[in-house]
Amino acid sequence: MNYFNYVEGELYCEDLSVSDIVEKEGTPLYLYSLRTLKRHYQVFDRAFADIDHLVCFSAKANSNIAVLRVLVNEGSGVDVVSGGELYRSLKAGADPKKIVYSGVGKRREEIRFALESGILMFNVESSQELEVINDTARDLKTRAPIALRVNPDVDPRTHPHISTGLKENKFGIDMEKSVAEYRRAAEFEHIEIVGVDCHIGSQIVELMPFLDALNRMKSMIELVRAEGINIRYLDIGGGLGITYDREEPPHPDDYARAIVEEVRDLDCTVILEPGRVIAGNAGILATRVLFTKERDNKRFIIVDAGMNDLIRPSLYDSYHRVLPVRENDGGTAVADIVGPICESGDFLVKDREMPRFERGDLIAVMSAGAYGFTMSSNYNSRPRAAEVLVSGNQAAVIRKREGFEDLVRGETLPGFLLHHDGNR
């Protein structure tokens, strides 16, 4: 359930009309519903009430500090994959002891920052990373809590770009080598082994891949414990999908029921890293039609949001529903919705029957609350969109729209370019 609904032909976010918000804040605009974020978190968290668990929202899905704060206030931890996400999480008020640090390429200074912050644990992805974490912890005269991220070689049956649990993917340590790697980790003086981690991908809409991976992790834990290593945490990652088009992903209750049944007697705290399932349907991207044109029976709707604002359709050929912010009876037409970027791959929708949008109309691109703004860029020197959070009848700008001056912030003209004499 989300809180984007029509009231007398007008699309509302909670108790405010989207068109009124856009009138004040402009387009393109990311718009989030606080009630939806809270509801989705609560449903997910409650589903695991029967076992010892920790929900760590995946910051890469939506890292705005206000969004993170909504979830932190509900009791959530955070899954981070960079020093920047750790910084954001702490700024949002997250408890460091509820932060797990994943990611395949952690820099030494990021590792140091995480150790100094006192995070719950690192999810370690390689032998060399383990060595760097140990060295950094030794420099700080502390011990680093770690889990090894094990690659279970399970096909998540999702888009290949968001699959992470196959041998061909860059993530994790091979299943066959992992026990030996745990044995090796146990010899490091400044490493404290606390868990096992695995994550197989994103936008997964079937239970079986999760259960396949989980069963392999259970076997792993038995083998590692047989080595005399105490495993307290089982991090099973995230990846539960949402409905963008016709997908029918498991409800969090069904997902939890299957997981709980498998781990109930494992004597571990289960860590879960949902992202999309919490934030995806809690946000939309509002955009305005700039122009329309037709060529050889092909209709183009040209809008002011481009692939720099929402890259998922261009990158993954992803489907996002599009709705009129103000309903009309102008009929439908097959069209592409395209942006202003100078790339043929700049589109939000391809060859789809939709309302016959005309110049000046406002369009809501649905299910844009995850991997929307976080993947946006300044390509073509386009300032990034504003972000607004709605709570009931209140709307707050949680990220100001960028201006041209923001595009060159941090750039400088070196002296040797300022004194051109025409001879060089």
**pLDDT of 421:** 64
pLDDT in tens, 160-195: 443 343 444 545 677 678 889 999 999 999 999 999
- Please give the pLDDT value at position 172: 60
Look at residue 381 in the predicted model and tell me its pLDDT: 98
Closest CA to 268 of 192, 175, 195: 195
Q: What is the pLDDT of residue 185?
A: 95
Kindly write down the DSSP assignment for every residue of 368-414, as one continuous string.
-SSSSGGG---GGGPPPPEEEEEETTEEEEEEPPP-HHHHTTT----
What are the pLDDT digits (tens) for 29-63? Answer: 999 999 999 999 999 999 999 999 999 999 999 99
Give pLDDT, residue 161.
Answer: 41
Rg of the Cα atoms in the chain: 23
Catalytic residue among 56, 198, 268, 342: 342
Q: Is the Cβ–Cβ distance between 230 and 193 less than 8 Å?
A: yes
Q: Determine the pLDDT at residue 212.
A: 84
Q: What is the pLDDT of residue 166?
A: 42
Cα separations in angstroms, 64 against 36, 202, 312, 386, 400: 16, 20, 18, 11, 12
pLDDT of residue 69: 98
Which residues of the chain, if any, have pLDDT below 70? 153-172, 175, 421-424
Q: Note whether 305 and 339 are within 8 A (CB).
A: yes
DSSP 106: -
Q: What is the pLDDT of residue 422?
A: 56
Cα atoms in the 13 Å half-sphere on the side-chain side of 97? 0
Domains of the chain: residue spans and CATH = 4-31+280-403 (2.40.37.10), 34-278 (3.20.20.10)
Tell me how far apart the alpha carbons of residues 143 and 132 are, in angstroms, rounded to a whole number: 12
Q: Is 13 a catalytic residue?
A: no
